[in-house]
Amino acid sequence: MKLGFGLYRHMLNEEHYRFAKQCGATHIIVHLVDYFGHDKNNKDSANQPIGEGEGWGTAGSGKLWSLEELLRLKKEINKHGLEWEAIENFDPSIWHDILLDGPKKEEQMELVKEQIRIVGQAGIPVFGYNFSLAGVSSRTVGPYARGDAESVGMEGSVDESPIPNGMVWNMVYDENSPGGSMPRISHDELWSRLQYFLNNIIPVAEEAGVTMAAHPDDPPMPYVRNTPRLVFQPDMYQKLVDMKPSKSNALEFCLGSVAEMTEGDVHDATDHYSKQNNIAYIHFRNIVGKVPNYKEVFIDEGDIDMLRILKILKENGFEGTLIPDHTPQMSCDGPWYAGMAYAMGYMKAAMEIVKIDY
């Protein structure tokens, strides 16, 4: 098992590599999409992106991340004694019509295939993604964690406002959209779009030596912003892996999102999917409650028994990476750093207690 650390695009620098190493991380999960383009998403105190109905900012230029760019970044990560484990999420500018079943979906599928080939050539073993139209939405910010630490959650309601045309996955891919909003579709239609994606991308990922890792919905509600969700109950993950059985069709297993689901039990789900060897890497965080009323809290105060999770993973031979993903913000000059250091210290100690090699 590996102790990892997640970094947003603006954190890909020496300061944050050193911080990750100092916390005990050996592996890095990288977000190459810039989620912090909106004014509300201050990069100086970046915990996780909050853009509400306006989204997270503008998507990229439609260009692929080049092999040269990835190798340069990998060299910088390796220089600090760290390994690059995964990229998390495609830029909406290269796959919005795959999500939307739009006119450019076949052209964009070729872009996505080439991106996976490039990632494989760079020696990056995992690519996480979230097949979602609304993305992460409907959350609130408040003093939800111990000692009134600022965190995120839901307070009983979901955002039902339609997504404007030109936006998907919380990001604007077309600033010149003529207006209107995304039409409502069924769950079956969204699953059909996912099937098209998996049928095309998994054979390429197998050849490239890359594992695709699907994130569950956050928050796990049936509909968010008038759009259906895919994985909002634990058993829906099974449907996803069964659609295209392959070692390259795996899960980005977010403990918090799974625990927020109204059905099932996060410990049982962890046992089920880790026994199948279907988990690529894990967002190791804690929550209190279920949708639509839940709060993200410190790693040691939530509904999830984190030591029990580690024992299950050890028993089932899980060898992937655990990252804290995000944490409550602590009351000091460096709230993000303090929150992450606290989570990493807990994880390191917990792995020692359970006698996990990392």
Rounded to whole angstroms, how far apart are CA atoms 12 and 312? 33
In a domain, 358, yes or no: no
> How are beta strands 223-224 and 227-228 bridged, if at all?
antiparallel
CB 210 within 8 A of CB 119: yes
Domain of 323, in residue numbers: 2-353
| pLDDT given at position 145 | 98
CATH number at residue 344: 3.20.20.150
Instruction: Examine residue 202 and state whether it is found in any structural domain, yes or no.
Output: yes
Return the pLDDT at 38.
Answer: 67
Say if 235 falls within a structural domain: yes
Parts of the chain with a pLDDT under 70:
38-46, 50-53
171-172/321-323 β-pairing: unpaired
In a domain, 241, yes or no: yes
pLDDT score, position 52: 65
- Does the residue 206 lie in any domain? yes
d(CA 341, CA 352): 17
- The pTM of this model reads 0.95
Residue 291 amino acid letter: V
Nearest residue to 29 via CA among 6, 2, 1, 3: 6
Quick check: helix, strand or coil at residue 156? coil
pLDDT for res 33? 93
Quick: pLDDT tens for 137-171. Answer: 888 999 999 999 999 999 998 989 999 999 999 89
Assigned domain for 122 exists? yes
Tell me if 90 is assigned to some domain.
Answer: yes
Cα-to-chain-centroid distance, residue 118:
21
**17: Cα separation from own chain's centroid:** 20
| Residue 223 covered by a domain | yes
The number of distinct structural domains making up the chain is 1
